[in-house]
């Protein structure tokens, strides 16, 4: 088994063991949006493993068109990240662009390009998580009133 295929299988196993959240509507939190993205990653990986390019394209489109983060949460994240916010946005754009590459490759039934783009997308997500997940999760888990008190408002 090639290293890329081995890595994809390993990622799929890890993601499939993560708990699922059922939520619908336009008022999803960042955490719920991320859980939906995880589900789309699983969909892509499963599609790649089964040569189901329609499923790969659906998962990639789900990532590319994920719901918007609620404005109040964007503000809290931006406050926490400060000057790092442009880097955070750049990582998001990179993953978005890669998801469109996965979709285009799936539409062309090009497994190799879809897999390469999928793995690059996973690396982009992991880089973002390493740099920001802990801080963002902490700030979003605090009640908004506690944040106002801390900032002196």
Q: Residue 110 is part of a domain; what is its CATH number? A: 1.20.120
Which range marks the domain in which residue 80 is found? 3-141
- Hey, what are 68's tokens? 């918007």
Instruction: Count the helix, strand and coil residues of the chain and give each as a percent rounded to the nearest 5.
Output: 80, 0, 20
Assigned domain for 19 exists: yes
Which of 26-35, 49-58, 79-88, 144-153 has the weakest average pLDDT?
A: 144-153
Name the domain count of the chain.
1
Assigned domain for 152 exists: no
Flag whether pLDDT at 23 surpasses 90.
Answer: no
Assigned domain for 99 exists: yes
Assigned domain for 150 exists: no
Assigned domain for 147 exists: no
Report d(CA 18, CA 52) in Å as an integer.
Answer: 23
Q: What is the mean pLDDT of the chain?
A: 84
Assigned domain for 149 exists: no
Report d(CA 53, CA 119) in Å as an integer.
Answer: 16
Flag whether pLDDT at 142 surpasses 70.
Answer: yes
């Amino acid at each position: 088994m090639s290293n890329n295929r081995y890595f994809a299988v390993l990622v799929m196993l890890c993601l499939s063991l993560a708990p699922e959240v059922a939520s619908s509507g336009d008022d999803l939190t960042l955490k719920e949006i991320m859980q939906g993205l995880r589900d789309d990653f699983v969909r892509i990986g499963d599609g790649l493993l089964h040569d189901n390019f329609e499923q790969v394209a659906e998962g990639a489109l789900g990532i590319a068109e994920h719901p918007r983060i609620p404005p109040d949460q964007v503000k809290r994240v931006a406050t926490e990240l400060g000057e790092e916010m442009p880097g955070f946005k750049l990582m998001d754009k990179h993953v978005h662009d890669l998801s469109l590459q996965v979709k285009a490759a799936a539409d062309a039934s090009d497994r190799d390009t879809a897999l390469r783009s999928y793995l690059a997308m996973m690396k982009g997500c992991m880089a973002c998580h390493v740099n920001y997940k802990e801080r963002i999760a902490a700030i979003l888990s605090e009640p908004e009133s506690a944040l106002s008190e801390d900032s002196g408002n």
